[in-house]
Structure 1
Amino acid sequence: MVLTGLETVAAVSSFVQLIDVAAKVASRLNEYRGKSGELPRSFLEISLLLPAFIEVVRETKVAVDDNRLSDTARQAITPLLKECSTQISFLDRIVTELLPKNDETSIELFRKVVRSLKYDKKIHRAEEAIRKYLTMISHQGIASARNKDAATPAPPKPTFVNRPFHRDTDHVHRDALDQIITQTHKPNGTQRLALVGLGGVGKSQIAIEYAYRTRDVFADAWAFWVNATSATNLENDFRKIAQALRLPGWDERATHILKIVYEWLCDEANGRWVMIIDNADDISVFTAPPPVGPGASQVQTGPHSVTPQIRDFLPKSSLGTILITSRAKDVAFELTGNANYYIHVQEMTEEESMKLLNVKLRGTHAESDKLELVKLLGYMPLAISQAAAYISQRAPLVTVSSYIEDLKKGNQNTTKLLSSSMTESHREIRRSHSIIATWHLTFEYVRGFHPSAARLLSLMCLFYWQEIRKSLLVGNYEEEMKKQKHEERRLRVRLRELWGYISNTLRLRNNSHHKQSQPRNTLPTFFDDCVTLINFSLLKVSANGQGFQLHRLVHLATEKWLDINHELDYWSKKYVRLLETTYPQITYPEPGFSDWQEYQTLFSHAIRAIECMPSDKTTLYVWLRLMLRVASFAKHGGLYTEAESFSRIAIHYLEQLVGPENEHTLQGVHELGEILNLQGNYQESEIAWRRAWSGRQRLLGTHHNDTTWSAMSLARVLFSQGKAEEAMAIEKIYAGKISPDTPKYLLQMLEGNYAEAESNIRQSLRARQEPWNEDAVEDIEALADMLAVQAKYREATGLLRAALAIQVRSSLATQDAIKTTKAKLASTLACHGHYREAEELLRQLTAEPLNSTTNSNQQELFAHNLECLGAVLAKQGLFAEAEKIGKQAVEIGEKTLGLEDIQTRNAMHSLAETMRLKGQYEDALALYEKSHLTPGKERFSESNMSDLRWMAECVDDIREVVRTEGKDESCWERMKRDDRSFLLIFFV
């Protein structure tokens, strides 16, 4: 008689429950014996019987599974199972109740001993019953199964186990597939390979096609698919493999499922197989201890002192191959053990992209449009499939050309299109079908485990996607969100402690684990963060090795991710300030770099910053200054239309923000006149320059240098229009204003033409007879100044060393002149990042204290050198000494120069920076307020351009401190009410 479906299910369920409870009781008894060395006598015989009992019940279950039991055996088994379950449940209850625990007192133990006496007879009866039932089950179940005239079931037929989807008939062949087949199908081929690349690049598609092709070549080969997104998913898929292989105990919780699959696959007698381990992105999944049910023992795969990990149960066989897909290069290396055993899957080639688009896209479309589409999508397979599905589903309303137009409209349109989900038969339902959502999972993982790298990525996504220079990144993201970083470090340490506690509780650690070193408290470096992003294929080194680049869609997806997490505005402001400070600091917004390609790179990034128009006044002011500089570069690059557009936008917002006759507004107007003049638009150029001249006369005075340049520019454009009389009248007003003895390079420097000024100084130096003497020092230092302004610190440092050597040798040089040159050299070295040498010079300069004979210039230089020394020490992380010296600089400034002197306030600001970096936010905030909320007249001159910029940055610093500490912003109200702080209102 054959069991019905319901009867079979009921029988199997009873067996499984009985085995689980019996295994739990056996495990508890063994655990107690391991701790105490012996068992109470009443439990000793039970502990010896249970392993054999469990094995017999397991064999009977197999017989039921294979339908090998006779009718007689089936009828006998049902009441036996019921009675056995009752007895084993009784034992489970009393074992829990009576066995002593580690933390119990002697009184509690005595009470348990007394209580156990009344159970002795019941335990003995349970022991006799189990012996009896053991014999009966063995005889009725197994013997009957042997005697039944039934053929032994055939072994399972090799198949594709747990395949996530059917074979893709539209599969586009990739070179990576050929590499895998070549390395694994040959005799003694590679047993373990990995595919590494971005999510959506096609790794899983290549892997599943490889599995099918392997089965095409080797018909008797098994194929297994394992999802490694978590240890639980991996265990579940291993259990499905065990079920398909009909391994005993596959459906029992107590079974060490990884071990039994591992042993079967390692046995070469079982034939050829291929295993795909998909989404192996998290190494902690594989370094975790294997999940083991109650009653099963841990298996040591190496020395006794080593706890087994899940990766120890990835099988090895000369007839088997494991192919791993991962987004993380370091995980691939850990699992393959060799950098030669993983293949980096890049974006598709243009030919492959066109093939994929053609098989996915319905309708007829122009080849040129399709080619442009795959280029815009960066040859990314998932993005191409997504776009093809979107167009096909909405045809004829949407075409390839209209989709391209929407992509080009801007980031919001692009992210909307690429966030739309689509369904494909060859892609798992549980996977994201959107390229944006796919990458957001990677971003979240990086943020969770590598927060510093996530901050670096957050900043990088705002740059233009190519040629992102290291110098633009280092030091500009690490100091963000200090409080969050502290919490992250604290949480990681706590998690490690918690894991250690859990591991010890479960006795999964041994002596060597107790000796492991303490968690590392050092923060990741820029190099570490870059390696993390490169490992996840989010970042690439540029082809010329001079910078980095992001995939265009990664660039876009990261920006969208920031927007979703409400961080885009925060990082945009940081980026705008960074780009504004990167451009040269000059009077007029003229190019400060002689190297066009270098400036072209900065121009691309600055255009990105211009797209990030801020809403707050402080950052808006910085953004407008940047726009004026970008307009100047566009002008010198012949991009007159762009330059005019940038200038007009900047002037429009400056008029609203600081007024029509603010110096920055008039600066933009003057620059607009220059741009219009270069385009031959003399009439509008005249209007602009006339406005700049008249405005500067009222603001700065008739004979101010800036006013003079606007006047002479106006005269030039008047001559161009034949208005010689008015032009000559203007020149007459300014005749003699600029001395004919003034060096030509100084005039060019005043105009902001640093490149031309540099050329003229070099000519002046070449005209001097070498070796240079004291007379050449002025020109040498002038050239060094020009180079430092253009961030050419290496050459500037060399020139200052030469000037210093001349002064030291000369009998004419004063000690004040030598000290000034040393101070310049120290500052230049510090700008170049040579903090140690700068520190040595500054210590020399501050070694001699001030005395009563020190003049005001010397006092200011000494205070400046002290301030610089403190800043250099802080840059090296020597906060204690930096704080001490910073306080000295403030004290000297207050005593000798006064509280309202620029140098005193600069020293306060530098000390506040040190305190902020040190994490003493309250002290830092107090210093910021003292430095900036009671301004001196010199510091806040409305006509001083660098001071306005400096002030805006300082206010940003205060706001950052207040924001980081979570304080209220009541100090801003005090600033608004303070009549001495009227200028600050523009920046709040």
Structure 2
Amino acid sequence: MHLFNVHSGKFWQTYDNIPPYVAALHWWKADTETSYQDVEERRNIHTDGSRKLQGFAEYIKKHIPHVEWLWIDTCCINQKDAAELSEGVNSIGCEDEDELGRSGWFARGWTLQELIASKCVILLTNTWQIIGHKDADNMDESMRTMPVGKSLTAAIARRTGVPEVGLQDRTNSDASVKKTGWPDAEPKPSYNVPFRRDPHFVERPFLTDQVRAKLSIPKSRVELAGLGGVGKSQLAIDYAHELRQQSPNTWVLWIHASNAAQFEQSVRDAVDVLKLHGREEPKVDLLLLLRNWLRDEGKGKWLIVLDNADDAGFLLEQLKRGDEVKPAQRRMDYIPVCDHGSVLITTRSRNQALRLVFENDTVNVLPMSVDEAVSLLETKLGETGEDCRELALALDCTSLAITQAVAYIRERTPRCSVRQYHMDMEQSRASRMGLLRREVSLPDQDAEATNSVLLTWQISFEHLYTTRRSAAELLSLMSCCDRLAIPEILLRVSDADEREDFERASSFEDDIVALRSFSFVSQTVDAQTWEMHRLVQDATQLWPESQSRLDDVRNRFVHCLYMSFPNGDFENWPMCRTLFPHAKVAMGQQPHDVGTMLEGATVMYRSAWYALELGAMVDGLAMAKAAVRVRSRQLGEEDEQTLSIRALIGWQYRDQGRWNKAEELNVKVVDTRIRALGSEHSNTLASINNLALIYWSEGHLGQAEELGVKVVEARIRVLGSEHPDTLASMDTLVNTYLSQGLYGEAEELGVKVMETMIRVLGSEHPDTLTSMDTLANTYWSQGRYREAEELHVKVVEASIRVLGNEHPDTLGSMFNLAIIYHGQGRWQEA
């Protein structure tokens, strides 16, 4: 062996007649220790290792002056000599007796040999302060003057599992460490990933590159967060196997983290794989054993995968030791942050992720891209074609749903194909949910996990309902909406109480954070609008349905629409445009509560009003008829809103050219309103004006003029000459004069109407554009083509901006302009 002389700083090699020496056991630090060659060649003398060697030498010269030889594993072993190379002693690295009890140094067999073989052991800190001793009573008389501190024999015995008598009496063979008491032979780096690598795994470079880059950083903790079923665990499994192949000296330990029981069982499995000494003791602290091993840099690099850490609560709660709760003793604290270790976590909740890692260390796992999803489906089935693409899209490119579909198709081949499965999915929501609820047999399945994507999401729903009920209620409400653009205004109903409004606003924001955390919804480019996947929407609706709460949720949805959907006036169009898709969804629902039915009918009426103004005749007529069925059945034919809806339907008939039906319906409305409201009520006058327009459309010009004049005069008296309704009735009269050939009267009134509308409503209001179009027709009828053309061009350009190029009014204006071009012989422009 080589010994280091503390006076000369040189080595001496001896095989026999070994002189008294001190063995220095210490904490190894990679790339800083002094080697045999460094000492021999007098190099690297300013490193930490060189200073440590000199520190040991000075300590010996000061406190044990009669001993001149030192043995220290890092430099007293010539590592270039294979015969001399052996495993060095690991580290202590402790500051006091409590730390001593957790030191990984005592779990190594070589350390136990030194403890038992040495007459006396003095434990020092890295600043050369005394911690304590083992067997100082055995020291030679010449050493009795050196400081030794308190006895740590009992503490060492507790930590190592070696009886005190075995530590104190090296001649007692019975009490010495028995074969069964020695630590197991040091195992080679291994891994306990409980799942095989999927041969059909589809590489997702955008995600795997992030994982590799983040985990390559020392002390890294990386989290894969995303909706259940998007493939987080598969990414972790594939990375673990890849790491094992590329770095066989790295330990990989898989820990199930869905709850405390699974976590602790996984910890027991891990310490068994590591063969940690003392793990079979009845009251052993397995977490402490594991932490001490993980801290030990000498064990090599390691990766821990915490799978399904959907609830970080149990990982961060303080643990009890007996009746005490010691600070900083949480399950997560037993996975140390160190240069040689990394942690990869999978979770469905981004909020939970941020309790365990920094935001920059989170990798958001979204559903696959279309190409990735198609590749997974084709790889697993061994088929290609457009059918695979269509099915992948129908499954929202969700990996678990695809895997579930593949297993189902395989089980039923040849009676089931990709196309047949897709057809069954699209048949109805019930059929789709039936397929996605079904569990199928998959290899390497976690015994406590489900392979049904629907049940996977329902587990998340239940967790959300338990931890934040208001967020679960909000999710249920959102599931009733059109899934592609769910606006905030539809979800929030304000109250008069300002304080309650503030509290609700704060709660709403917290609820949205929770839903986005679980990836149930995602924000669109508009910060006040959200969207959700179709399958998630279906699954969400199924959840309250299973609890007989779906009717309540739908009633709330209709009420929110009722509170937020305005009438179809032009100034409300932006809001109507936002809410109209959701009104179409509500049209398919059939509430049983009378109050909700009436609120739904009002929503349908307002939606129909907007749709007809916009030129969406099919939707508008269907909504109006749905509304009038409910109102007339519940409140009768003379109910005012029932009459308003009837009038709206009549107006739609007029626009479709079904003038007889339009006239019949509007005559009934006029008669009923005169009887119920009086002849000069604003609603009555609106009905008479509509009837005048119908007469004009039918060519009954005398009747149209008579009614038109009455309406104008009455509205001037009741509303004033510049009220928008008065101006609209004047414009109706202009059309009648024009059709009668009364061009002077038509032009005079038309100019007055247009100028007033521009001042009152603005130059691009649809009613203003209608008046401009009417005046342009008046000019055209008089052969004043240039003036007519100028006005029509303005109308067409503004209509395209305001109404769109396919709105009936826009098309009508284009047609009028084409006639003017045609009349001037400008065939190509026409």
TM-score of the aligned structures, taking structure 1 as reference length: 0.53
Compute the displacement of 1:165 (Å): 2.3
Whole-angstrom distance in 1 between the partners of 2:653 and 2:504? 55
Match status 1:284 vs 2:313: yes
Alignment match of 2:238 (pick from 195, 201, 209): 209
Q: 1:186-242 deviations in whole A, cap 9, x for unaligned? A: 4x5452211111111111000011100000101232221111111222111111111
Is the contact made by 1:456 and 1:477 (CA closer than 8 Å) also made in structure 2? no
Whole-angstrom distance in 2 between the partners of 1:392 and 1:477? 55
- Matches for 1:648-687 after TM superposition, within 5 Å: 648-687=625-664
Equivalent residue number for residue 958 of structure 1? none
Whole-angstrom distance in 2 between the partners of 1:546 and 1:617? 32
Alignment match of 1:591 (pick from 560, 569, 572): 569
- Closer, same or farther in 2 for the Cα pair 1:413/1:638, shift >3 Å? farther
Is the contact made by 1:467 and 1:542 (CA closer than 8 Å) also made in structure 2? yes
Match status 1:581 vs 2:563: yes
Compute the displacement of 1:154 (Å): 4.2
Compute the displacement of 1:665 (Å): 2.0
Compute the displacement of 1:185 (Å): 6.4
- Closer, same or farther in 2 for the Cα pair 1:749/1:473, shift >3 Å? farther
SS at match of 1:335: coil
Q: 1:317-342 deviations in whole A, cap 9, x for unaligned? A: 32322101112223222222x21111
Two-structure CA RMSD over aligned residues (Å) = 4.3
| Matched letter for residue 470 of structure 2 | S
Is the contact made by 2:219 and 2:338 (CA closer than 8 Å) also made in structure 1? no
Whole-angstrom distance in 2 between the partners of 1:478 and 1:436? 40
Match status 1:155 vs 2:186: yes
Whole-angstrom distance in 2 between the partners of 1:250 and 1:356? 43
Q: 1:543-569 deviations in whole A, cap 9, x for unaligned? A: 132322333333332222121222221
- Matches for 1:591-670 after TM superposition, within 5 Å: 591-593=569-571, 595-596=573-574, 598-670=575-647
Equivalent residue number for residue 440 of structure 1? 458
Alignment match of 2:443 (pick from 415, 422, 425): 425
Match status 1:257 vs 2:257: no
Is the contact made by 2:493 and 2:563 (CA closer than 8 Å) also made in structure 1? no
- Closer, same or farther in 2 for the Cα pair 1:749/1:378, shift >3 Å? farther
Equivalent residue number for residue 332 of structure 1? 353
Deviates more, 1:686-695 or 1:629-638: 686-695
Alignment match of 1:745 (pick from 724, 729, 754): 724
Match status 1:171 vs 2:201: yes
| Matched letter for residue 342 of structure 1 | T
Whole-angstrom distance in 2 between the partners of 1:401 and 1:626? 39
- Matches for 1:208-247 after TM superposition, within 5 Å: 208-247=237-276
Compute the displacement of 1:440 (Å): 1.6
Whole-angstrom distance in 2 between the partners of 1:198 and 1:361? 24
Match status 1:183 vs 2:218: no
Equivalent residue number for residue 943 of structure 1? none
- Matches for 1:816-855 after TM superposition, within 5 Å: none
Whole-angstrom distance in 2 between the partners of 1:448 and 1:591? 44
- Closer, same or farther in 2 for the Cα pair 1:615/1:440, shift >3 Å? same
Compute the displacement of 1:717 (Å): 2.7
Alignment match of 1:385 (pick from 385, 403, 408): 403
Compute the displacement of 1:450 (Å): 1.8
Structure 1 residue runs without a partner (length 5+):
1-58, 63-129, 301-305, 483-520, 754-759, 768-778, 787-988
Is the contact made by 2:708 and 2:729 (CA closer than 8 Å) also made in structure 1? no
Whole-angstrom distance in 2 between the partners of 1:535 and 1:738? 57
Compute the displacement of 1:263 (Å): 0.8
Equivalent residue number for residue 512 of structure 2? 530
SS at match of 1:198: coil
Is the contact made by 2:166 and 2:176 (CA closer than 8 Å) also made in structure 1? no
- Closer, same or farther in 2 for the Cα pair 1:558/1:144, shift >3 Å? closer
- Closer, same or farther in 2 for the Cα pair 1:642/1:131, shift >3 Å? closer
Equivalent residue number for residue 343 of structure 1? 363
Compute the displacement of 1:315 (Å): 2.9
Q: 1:914-957 deviations in whole A, cap 9, x for unaligned? A: xxxxxxxxxxxxxxxxxxxxxxxxxxxxxxxxxxxxxxxxxxxx
Match status 1:357 vs 2:387: no
Is the contact made by 2:218 and 2:340 (CA closer than 8 Å) also made in structure 1? no
Structure with the larger helix share: 1
- Closer, same or farther in 2 for the Cα pair 1:442/1:580, shift >3 Å? same
Compute the displacement of 1:592 (Å): 4.7
Structure 2 residue runs without a partner (length 5+):
1-105, 110-162, 733-751, 766-830
Identity %: 27
Is the contact made by 1:177 and 1:210 (CA closer than 8 Å) also made in structure 2? no
Equivalent residue number for residue 123 of structure 1? none
TM-score of the aligned structures, taking structure 2 as reference length: 0.63
- Closer, same or farther in 2 for the Cα pair 1:522/1:705, shift >3 Å? closer
SS at match of 1:525: helix
Is the contact made by 2:651 and 2:662 (CA closer than 8 Å) also made in structure 1? yes
Compute the displacement of 1:168 (Å): 0.8
Is the contact made by 1:389 and 1:422 (CA closer than 8 Å) also made in structure 2? yes
- Closer, same or farther in 2 for the Cα pair 1:151/1:635, shift >3 Å? closer
Match status 1:551 vs 2:569: no
Q: 1:846-904 deviations in whole A, cap 9, x for unaligned? A: xxxxxxxxxxxxxxxxxxxxxxxxxxxxxxxxxxxxxxxxxxxxxxxxxxxxxxxxxxx
Is the contact made by 1:693 and 1:710 (CA closer than 8 Å) also made in structure 2? yes
Equivalent residue number for residue 373 of structure 1? 391
Whole-angstrom distance in 2 between the partners of 1:667 and 1:522? 36
Whole-angstrom distance in 2 between the partners of 1:546 and 1:680? 41
Compute the displacement of 1:629 (Å): 1.2
Is the contact made by 1:279 and 1:327 (CA closer than 8 Å) also made in structure 2? yes
Is the contact made by 1:347 and 1:380 (CA closer than 8 Å) also made in structure 2? yes
Q: 1:813-866 deviations in whole A, cap 9, x for unaligned? A: xxxxxxxxxxxxxxxxxxxxxxxxxxxxxxxxxxxxxxxxxxxxxxxxxxxxxx
- Closer, same or farther in 2 for the Cα pair 1:525/1:749, shift >3 Å? farther
Is the contact made by 2:689 and 2:729 (CA closer than 8 Å) also made in structure 1? no
Is the contact made by 2:166 and 2:172 (CA closer than 8 Å) also made in structure 1? no
Q: 1:60-111 deviations in whole A, cap 9, x for unaligned? A: xx9xxxxxxxxxxxxxxxxxxxxxxxxxxxxxxxxxxxxxxxxxxxxxxxxx
Compute the displacement of 1:670 (Å): 1.2
Whole-angstrom distance in 2 between the partners of 1:534 and 1:131? 58
Equivalent residue number for residue 430 of structure 2? 412
SS at match of 2:329: coil
| Matched letter for residue 200 of structure 2 | D
Is the contact made by 2:297 and 2:340 (CA closer than 8 Å) also made in structure 1? yes
Match status 1:275 vs 2:296: no
| Matched letter for residue 347 of structure 2 | S
Q: 1:390-429 deviations in whole A, cap 9, x for unaligned? A: 3443444444444444444553333333222223214423
SS at match of 1:432: coil
Whole-angstrom distance in 2 between the partners of 1:477 and 1:549? 26
Match status 1:709 vs 2:704: no
Equivalent residue number for residue 968 of structure 1? none
Compute the displacement of 1:244 (Å): 1.4
Equivalent residue number for residue 192 of structure 1? 221
| Matched letter for residue 557 of structure 1 | A
Is the contact made by 2:721 and 2:727 (CA closer than 8 Å) also made in structure 1? no
Compute the displacement of 1:183 (Å): 2.1
SS at match of 2:222: strand
Q: How many residues align?
A: 584
Compute the displacement of 1:349 (Å): 0.9
| Matched letter for residue 203 of structure 2 | H
Equivalent residue number for residue 817 of structure 1? none
Whole-angstrom distance in 2 between the partners of 1:426 and 1:174? 21
Q: 1:655-706 deviations in whole A, cap 9, x for unaligned? A: 2212233222222111111222222333333333233234334433455433
SS at match of 1:636: helix
